[in-house]
């Protein structure tokens, strides 16, 4: 494979952030709403509470200090931002997000449906 420079893809700012409520629009969890627990801007992924739960079988580990018990661990795996839509806190609809400047000159997100500021 030819050598390529490290990831020159423009780093796009995520339109959603931690604490936002989003609607999942594709995949097994389609239609589910949840709160964003974590964002991974580099990969354009987000972790949404209760969405994309994966199970990991953990075998008991007995290492140095501490012991991990055997069992099935469930946790939310990251999903791509394109699979979620922000739910507007004002109108409660899944919406597209725009940016604009408010009266104080601060850049804020707004709901393209009801025009309310989101931040
Ligand atoms: Zn709205």
Q: What is the 43 CA–ligand 1 centroid distance (Å)?
A: 27
In the prediction, which pLDDT does 80 show? 97
Q: What is the 99 CA–ligand 1 centroid distance (Å)?
A: 13
Q: What is the 79 CA–ligand 1 centroid distance (Å)?
A: 23
Angstrom distance (rounded) from CA 114 to CA 24: 20
Of 53, 56, 51, 54, nearest to 72 (Cα)? 56
Name, in order, each residue with C-beta under 8 angstroms of 94's C-beta and a sequence gap of 6 or more. 22, 23, 25, 85, 86, 87, 88
> At 50, is the secondary structure helix, strand, or coil?
coil
Pairing of strands 53-58, 61-62: unpaired
What are the residue boundaries of the structural domains of the chain, listed by start? 21-87
Q: What is the 113 CA–ligand 1 centroid distance (Å)?
A: 5
In the prediction, which pLDDT does 36 show? 98
Architecture of domain 21-87: Roll (2.30)
pLDDT tens track for 72-96 = 999 999 999 999 999 999 999 999 9
Angstrom distance (rounded) from CA 118 to CA 107: 11
User: pTM of the prediction?
Assistant: 0.80
Q: What is the 119 CA–ligand 1 centroid distance (Å)?
A: 12
Q: Could you tell me how many residues make up the chain?
A: 119
- Assess whether pLDDT exceeds 90 at residue 12: no
Q: What is the 88 CA–ligand 1 centroid distance (Å)?
A: 5
In the prediction, which pLDDT does 69 show? 76
pLDDT tens track for 22-61 = 999 999 999 999 999 999 999 999 999 999 999 999 888 7
- Assess whether pLDDT exceeds 90 at residue 13: no
């Amino acid at each position: 494979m030819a050598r390529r420079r490290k990831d020159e893809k423009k780093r796009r700012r995520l339109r959603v952030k931690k604490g936002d409520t989003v609607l999942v629009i594709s995949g097994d969890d389609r239609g589910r709403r949840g709160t964003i627990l974590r964002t991974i801007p580099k990969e354009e992924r987000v972790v949404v509470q209760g969405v994309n739960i994966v199970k990991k079988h953990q075998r008991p580990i007995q290492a140095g200090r501490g012991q991990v018990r055997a069992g099935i661990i469930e946790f939310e795996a990251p999903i791509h931002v394109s699979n979620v839509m922000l739910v507007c806190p004002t109108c409660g609809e899944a919406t597209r997000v725009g940016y604009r400047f408010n009266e104080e000159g601060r850049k804020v997100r707004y709901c393209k449906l009801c025009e309310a500021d989101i931040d």
